[in-house]
Amino acid sequence: MAKKIMGSAKASRRKSRKKASAIQARRKKEFMFRGYTMEQLLAMPFDEVLELLPSRSRRTYLRGLNYEQQLLFDELKGEVSGPVRTHRRDLPIIPQFVGKTVSIYDGHAFKDVEIKPEMIGCLLGEFVINRKMPQHSGPGVGATRSSKFMPLK
């Protein structure tokens, strides 16, 4: 039988220090919305969920959705296979929409957005930019009044 060789006490202390100082893998933090987990939010009645939403989103639902918003709302609450295409950017996100994919029109094309728990209470349009930053050229001939009269070489 082969005899197992043990390291010195100094080496074992060094090894334990190294192990203690190593960065431990972080445990994924569970999502909470105003003190409630996703499971609790999904189990709540719609009226209780409304009380947790920000005032603008809450008011939108309390006053009633218009026809197009109601169609999109019903489609997103039900079982959906694939992305739902829409022009409606003003529908507030509720917990029942989490995990669904929505193709939102930005004025030029449809952009796919997967709804995450952090988006609850926001509007759909907030996650698709519909304005393009202006691209200015550098100064040159014609940029100012005085640059019109450039001497020819």
Which stretch of 63-67, 83-87, 122-126, 133-137 has the lowest confidence by average pLDDT? 133-137
Residue 140 has pLDDT above 80, yes or no: no
Spatial separation of the C-alpha atoms in residues 61 and 15, rounded to whole Å: 60
Taking Cα atoms as reference points, which of 118, 113, 123 lies closest to residue 84? 113
Superfamily name and number for 32-127? Ribosomal protein S19/S15 (3.30.860.10)
In contact, 124 and 86? CB cutoff 8 Å: yes
Spatial separation of the C-alpha atoms in residues 146 and 134, rounded to whole Å: 25
Domain edges within the chain: 32-127
DSSP symbol at 32: E
Q: 125: which residues sit within 8 A by CB, 6+ positions away?
A: 89, 90, 104
Which stretch of 83-92, 103-112, 144-153 has the lowest confidence by average pLDDT? 144-153
In contact, 65 and 92? CB cutoff 8 Å: no
What pLDDT is recorded for position 22? 74
Give tens-digit pLDDT for 67-90: 999 999 999 998 888 999 999 999
- CA angle 116/120/124 to nearest 5° reads 80
Give tens-digit pLDDT for 12-68: 888 888 877 777 776 778 889 999 999 999 999 999 999 999 999 999 999 999 999
